[in-house]
Structure 1
Amino acid sequence: MRIRLLGGLEVSSADGQPVRFAMRKSALLFAALVLAGSRGHRRERLSEGFWPGRGEAQSRNSLRQALADIRRRFPADGNAAISLEGDQETVALTAGPDEADIWLFERKLAESGTADLAFAAELYRGDVLAGEAIPDGLDAWFGPYQVGYRQKALQLVERLSLALPEAGTADAAACERLAERLLAADPTAEAAHRALMRVHVARGHENAALRQLESCRALLRKLLDVEPEAQTNALAASLQSRERHHQVKPAHDTVLPPQPVSIPARPHDQPSVAVMPFDNLGGADDEYFADGVVEETTAALSRVRDFFVIARQSAFTYKGRFVDVRQVGKELGVNYVVEGTVRRGGDRLRISVQLVDAETRAQLWSERYEGAIEDIFEFQDRIAAQVAGAIHPAIRGAEIELAKRKPPTSLRAYDLVMRAYPNIWGRRKDTNDQAIELLKKATAVDPAYGRAHALLAWCHASNAAYLWAEQPESELEKARAAVETAGSIGDDPTALAAAGSALSMCGDQERAATFIERALALDPNNAWAWARQGWIATYTGEAARAPERFQRAMALSPMDPFAFNMRLGMATAMAKTGSLSQAVAIAREVIAAHPDIIMSYRYLAAWSAMIGDIETARWAAQKLLTAQPDFTIERYRSLPILRSTPEWADQVAEALKLAGLPER
């Protein structure tokens, strides 16, 4: 292995001597080609990404010089283990499969043996290019790789610690070293804390494991003001039970009855379930119909208070690929997984569903439903009721009745809303516009469909809040009108969350809170409502109470496409309570993972300026203006969401001015 990117950049020649590139950009270009692997990169993308703003001819020439620098270190002589290949359009690095640490790391991760996982653990010495000076502009290039490989390392340390035997081994040592490296970079990485706890247990050191637990809990409270995740609490319960079992008993040697474990009450303490995307066995046009079955089944289960139900948005990240239920259980932190198929033919419908134990893979219950297409809403309620009963027989049938709501009168309108749903999460203007068009069609087909009107209100409010519209106030008026037109949505938590979120962005926080509280009263597992409640707290001077609400939302939907909004909400609350450095760190993480989400640059520009990091503030401001050339501080300052906290709005406006953004 001659190329190391994990933990820094190290390259060696065939005789083991360090390779030094003439230019820093050459070294980073080499790293980019290693990360791309055999697929390589288009020359145009490399020249624009590494030498932006220089003009096509100059950036192309700079790329040629850097590639020549790399070729001098690795000349192609027919027997070269590492060389560059390409044509007029693309360029790629060719090398043996064992030449780069990240390639070995990926290959070992794909194996299931403990020794392979331990090997991968030793390869991960830190973030991709850790410690390397990356110029402005290229952090967005390498950021996603850094975030992605860090996440893989966290998953690895969890997998390896779960696979350890009872006695300590060399594999346990590798796991311990990886966990310590991860905690050195992020002291709040719970997966690494859990791994160390399991390593201590494997060595018979239960007290050390309990000390690790207390350290984890203290760091989470101090740095994030949150409690440990469900998996950590479950491990804690196991450790405390084990410790009680080994305690010295009274002289008469009678066994004392077990005492209840003192663990903070968490939603995950309830039976937890994820409804996976159902396979569509019909035509391509039925894809959204199948998604709708899952959406409504998830919503019905979510309203059963005895359960912790993963949000549909996170479960749908598995759509279109086979995933072992045990992996799903670990990644989403659930005990049970619901799987199924949907076939729609003409006016007939067939749904097959099964409930699986995520740990043992055992099938606990299965059922098939057949009938007319109009029976779909009854089937969804029956599925939810039977899944609930199979998991928790004590649930009374009357409780699941609360999950039922009045269905739309038109299946066509229902289909249109399901088609719009993936596009409503505020990531891009074009997808938001697509959602608006679909929702308008739905309301035209069924004018009484309250959910369609509520989602339409949210999309119009997003157009204003993200400054996608030339006339934000006009979009806000449309949002308010759509909420009023929605009519009676009091039994639909999704519609209530959408309407409340729209009103919140229109500046009516008091009325918005009423909608959100009603949504959570009906559906305590509604991640969107929890997130919006966090934003409302931030807007109304209660920022200190917001993080716990965002944390609850992220626990309910750990893979949500709207997670960026939850993270930025958490950061905003931190910024308003004085933790500006942490807010900046979160904004950087969001940008690294989602460089296309423009609002992130607005936040980073303001918060960086507030802590005196003018260089970062101006970089973020430039990014913002590149994406939104018509941005002005005055235009942003006029948004209703800022009216409830005028002092903070003034501070933000002043910071944006320092960052170099135009006032008018």
Structure 2
Amino acid sequence: MQGARFAFGPFVLDPGLGTLLRDDAPVAVSHRGLKLLAALVARPGDILSKSALLDAAWPGLAVEEGNLTVQIAQLRKLLGVPAYGGEWITTVPRIGYRFAGAVEQRDTAKRRSLPLPAKPSIAVLPFANVSNDPEQETFADGLTEDLITDLSRTAELFVIARNSAFAYKGKAGDVRAIAEELGVRYLLEGSVRQAAGRVRINAQLVDALTGDHLWAERFDRKLDDIFAVQDEVTARIVEALLGRLRMPPPRQRPKSLEAYELCVRARRLMDDTPQAAQEAHLLLTHAIALDPDYAEAYRWLALNHWMGWVHSGGPSEAFRGTALELARKAVVLDPNDAGCRWALAYLLAYERDFAEADAEFAKALALDPNEADAWAALSDITVLAGRVEEGLEHIRKAFRLNPLPASWYYLPLGQALYAAGEHKAAVEALRRDETHRTSSRRFLAASLAQLGRLDEARAEAELFLVGNPDFSVRHWAAMEPFRDAALRERFVDGFRKAGLPE
């Protein structure tokens, strides 16, 4: 997959990386500012309305126009005056803004092919919804996600994670090229149609190296049989790839299809805006009301509460206690679900119940060694325990299983690189965390400070404090689950150099 960079004057903007360079040196620019600049330079000379720019920088949010005015003013100050005079960004009275400079679009380099793992490797591409009802898209996505989860629990397979697979949703592509980008040999693709209480699924397993179809089948069943069909598809693929039928312990299945679809919709919203997280909370609560024994809904609701705890600026007892209670409930309901296990493990670590946390992580990865999110979460906890090289190995494994990950992966990667003293690499990683920029910006500030780039570090620290006005270095150091005092002081030193308050 390819992105684009935009060059104008001494600047190069890379929207994918979230970076703006002036003469190859990074420019400290806000996340919203980057979004606005990307929208403007993508259409040089065109007038972009204020509403279009608000949608670009604050998607799905109701924001006052004054916020746009402030961001544009900050961009003008950062960019300065073009060599030819005038302004890079001009105002069109009562309408919007226009980028006045000449822009050169540069394609980024093609993604490097990843080497094939030693074991059979597979990616499940998003199943196409071929019904006439666009509302069935959620059902098709849920089917894809469940097949990924079921296959990944087979230890003899290497299975690409959901986020990377869904990067190809709705995009036509050559199977060989997709397989090379993801570093797998096999692809599962298919379609699903739901109508009149029945579901029709077409699935085919392709060897991307040879182009051969190893297996293909059509299923036409009652809608109530959907989970039995998923089990059958998984079994057939395992048999085709491994030459024998060997299935892991069964997962708990929801009793309510409506609860299942609500949970699928909620999962899409978990890494989005706070407003989206609130919507996810409502969907998951409704799912549990429909199916009180649905373990996965409890797991995601636990993580939703934990995110609320983190985004609130402090670990309030209400958020912490509820999140931990929900995670424990999820594990009780389905002890064979790796996702429930690692969610509980992560929360236990923040409660400093390290022995139980380590045990739960071990159980999660024994159940599903392909669970990329678990490896990423374990990296965070392992680094804070002082086992930095081990933590780096974990996050690298997470990236290999999920080469096109959600942006939050760059937070534990940046944290691990900072802990290892690789501050320049940490800056590069942390600049790619768009979703959790509020959380990662403090580590970015510390990394820049350790490089001696104090002006940039203090700019990042100031932006961090806008969203976290009550932050203090001492409080943070006391709450993070450190098990290594020297490492804690290394982080504290970076924060202090960046100008974050004691």
What is the letter of the counterpart of residue 442 of structure 2? Answer: R
Residues 316-345 of structure 1, C-alpha deviations (whole Å, 9 max, x = no match): 112233233233112212222111111222
Deviation at 1:309, TM superposition (A): 0.9
Work out whether 1:460 is the aligned partner of 2:305. Answer: yes
What aligned pairs does 1:148-297 form with structure 2 within 5 A after superposition? 149=107, 152-155=108-111, 191=112, 229-230=114-115, 268-282=117-131, 283-297=133-147
Q: Are 1:354 and 1:363, in contact at CA under 8 Å, matched by a contact in 2?
A: yes
Of residues 521, 524, 534 in structure 1, which corresponds to 2:369? 524
In the alignment, the residues of structure 1 paired with residue 278 and residue 50 of structure 2 have an alpha-carbon distance, to the nearest angstrom, of 33
Q: Tell me the secondary structure at the aligned position of residue 312 of structure 2.
A: coil
Deviation at 1:618, TM superposition (A): 0.7
Structure 2 match to 1:396:
244
Structure 2 match to 1:5:
7
Q: Tell me the secondary structure at the aligned position of residue 269 of structure 1.
A: coil
Deviation at 1:93, TM superposition (A): 6.4
Structure 2 match to 1:424:
270
Residues 95-150 of structure 1, C-alpha deviations (whole Å, 9 max, x = no match): 9xxx9652xx5xxxxxxxxxxxxxxxxxxxxxxxxxxxxxxxxxxxxxxxxxxx4x
In the alignment, the residues of structure 2 paired with residue 469 and residue 623 of structure 1 have an alpha-carbon distance, to the nearest angstrom, of 14
Structure 2 match to 1:601:
441
What aligned pairs does 1:429-508 form with structure 2 within 5 A after superposition? 429-464=274-309, 466-468=310-312, 472-486=316-330, 487-508=332-353
Structure 2 match to 1:347:
197
Q: Tell me the secondary structure at the aligned position of residue 662 of structure 1.
A: coil
Q: Are 1:275 and 1:294, in contact at CA under 8 Å, matched by a contact in 2?
A: yes
Work out whether 1:36 is the aligned partner of 2:52. Answer: no
What is the letter of the counterpart of residue 89 of structure 1? Answer: I
Structure 2 match to 1:138:
none
Residues 435-493 of structure 1, C-alpha deviations (whole Å, 9 max, x = no match): 222222222222222222122222222222x3326663321111111122221422112
In the alignment, the residues of structure 2 paired with residue 42 and residue 631 of structure 1 have an alpha-carbon distance, to the nearest angstrom, of 36
Deviation at 1:372, TM superposition (A): 1.6
What is the number of equivalent residue pairs in this alignment? 459
Unaligned runs of 5+ in 1: 11-23, 54-58, 74-83, 106-148, 156-190, 195-228, 232-267
Of residues 221, 245, 256 in structure 2, which corresponds to 1:410? 256
Unaligned runs of 5+ in 2: 1-5, 13-26, 28-33, 54-67
In the alignment, the residues of structure 2 paired with residue 9 and residue 449 of structure 1 have an alpha-carbon distance, to the nearest angstrom, of 51
In the alignment, the residues of structure 2 paired with residue 314 and residue 435 of structure 1 have an alpha-carbon distance, to the nearest angstrom, of 21
Q: Are 1:335 and 1:358, in contact at CA under 8 Å, matched by a contact in 2?
A: yes
What is the letter of the counterpart of residue 478 of structure 1? Answer: T
- Alignment CA distance shift 1:91-1:461 (3 Å): closer
- Alignment CA distance shift 1:408-1:590 (3 Å): same
Q: Tell me the secondary structure at the aligned position of residue 471 of structure 2.
A: coil
Work out whether 1:660 is the aligned partner of 2:499. Answer: yes
What is the letter of the counterpart of residue 43 of structure 2? Answer: A
Residues 365-395 of structure 1, C-alpha deviations (whole Å, 9 max, x = no match): 22111212221111011111112333x2x43
- Alignment CA distance shift 1:296-1:516 (3 Å): same
What is the letter of the counterpart of residue 73 of structure 2? Answer: W
- Alignment CA distance shift 1:341-1:154 (3 Å): closer
Q: Are 1:457 and 1:502, in contact at CA under 8 Å, matched by a contact in 2?
A: no
Structure 2 match to 1:312:
162
Work out whether 1:51 is the aligned partner of 2:51. Answer: no
Q: Tell me the secondary structure at the aligned position of residue 85 of structure 2.
A: helix
Q: Are 1:428 and 1:597, in contact at CA under 8 Å, matched by a contact in 2?
A: no
Q: Tell me the secondary structure at the aligned position of residue 202 of structure 2.
A: strand
Deviation at 1:275, TM superposition (A): 0.7
Q: TM-score, normalised by structure 1?
A: 0.62
What is the letter of the counterpart of residue 445 of structure 1? Answer: L
In the alignment, the residues of structure 2 paired with residue 346 and residue 35 of structure 1 have an alpha-carbon distance, to the nearest angstrom, of 45
In the alignment, the residues of structure 1 paired with residue 382 and residue 100 of structure 2 have an alpha-carbon distance, to the nearest angstrom, of 53
Structure 1 match to 2:24:
none
Structure 1 match to 2:59:
none
In the alignment, the residues of structure 1 paired with residue 432 and residue 80 of structure 2 have an alpha-carbon distance, to the nearest angstrom, of 33
Structure 1 match to 2:395:
550
Q: TM-score, normalised by structure 2?
A: 0.80
- Alignment CA distance shift 1:275-1:550 (3 Å): same
- Alignment CA distance shift 1:365-1:85 (3 Å): farther
Deviation at 1:504, TM superposition (A): 3.0
In the alignment, the residues of structure 2 paired with residue 492 and residue 580 of structure 1 have an alpha-carbon distance, to the nearest angstrom, of 36
Q: Are 1:230 and 1:269, in contact at CA under 8 Å, matched by a contact in 2?
A: no
Q: Are 1:493 and 1:520, in contact at CA under 8 Å, matched by a contact in 2?
A: yes
In the alignment, the residues of structure 2 paired with residue 31 and residue 474 of structure 1 have an alpha-carbon distance, to the nearest angstrom, of 39
Structure 1 match to 2:354:
509
Residues 17-67 of structure 1, C-alpha deviations (whole Å, 9 max, x = no match): xxxxxxx9xxx99999654346554579686445329xxxxx79x999879
- Alignment CA distance shift 1:404-1:6 (3 Å): farther
- Alignment CA distance shift 1:503-1:93 (3 Å): same
Is the radius of gyration larger for structure 1 or structure 2? 1
What is the letter of the counterpart of residue 154 of structure 1? Answer: K
In the alignment, the residues of structure 2 paired with residue 444 and residue 43 of structure 1 have an alpha-carbon distance, to the nearest angstrom, of 42
Q: Are 2:122 and 2:185, in contact at CA under 8 Å, matched by a contact in 1?
A: yes
In the alignment, the residues of structure 2 paired with residue 478 and residue 645 of structure 1 have an alpha-carbon distance, to the nearest angstrom, of 28
Deviation at 1:621, TM superposition (A): 0.8
Structure 2 match to 1:261:
none
Residues 73-109 of structure 1, C-alpha deviations (whole Å, 9 max, x = no match): 9xxxxxxxxxx997752455699xxx9652xx5xxxx
Q: Are 2:123 and 2:188, in contact at CA under 8 Å, matched by a contact in 1?
A: yes
Q: Tell me the secondary structure at the aligned position of residue 351 of structure 1.
A: strand
